[in-house]
Amino acid sequence: MFFIHHTVSRACTTKARCIGIVRGIQNDHIDHRGFDDIGYSFLVGGDGNVYEGRGWSNVGAHTENFNSRSFAAAMIGNFEATLPNAKAVTAVKNLIAFGVHLGKIARSYRLHGHRDVKVTACPGTNFYNLVKTWPNYRRYEP
């Protein structure tokens, strides 16, 4: 499975700004949530870059009850009322395709928004409505 989240932070469109936000998320996850590192597998910025969190090789702490059998990308920003820009959308789609290419994600993977498995607004209503149109999106059914 692959889960889509959003960080509910400021968005970023430059590498320097995105790196600053990622560092802030890392500090929050380590210092306040007690995680070993960023909980997400990856984060995606509006600069079109993918930032590694736990990566492909480490179990994440992103989607309770699903971490050991999924990866997750958090889009940097709050996408309740807006959408990530085209660079970010392309980057996350390319990330998923690369994971399939590497054999880390099954070709028959299921794509979900965080809200599919938890009562949350994540990854934001506007963005979630877009994610539901992507290939491999499936409404979660236990």
Residues 32-89: pLDDT tens digits? 999 999 999 999 999 999 999 999 999 999 999 999 999 999 999 999 999 999 999 9
User: Which residues are 72's β-sheet partners?
Assistant: 3
pTM of the prediction? 0.96
Query: How do the domains of the chain map onto residue ranges?
Result: 2-131
Query: 2-131, which class in CATH?
Result: alpha beta
Angle at 82 between CA 78 and CA 85, to 5 degrees: 90
Q: What backbone phi and psi angles, to 5 degrees, belong to 91? A: -60, -45
Residues 11-29: pLDDT tens digits? 999 999 999 999 999 999 9
**Burial class (CB within 10 angstroms; exposed 0-12, middle 13-18, buried 19+) of 79:** buried
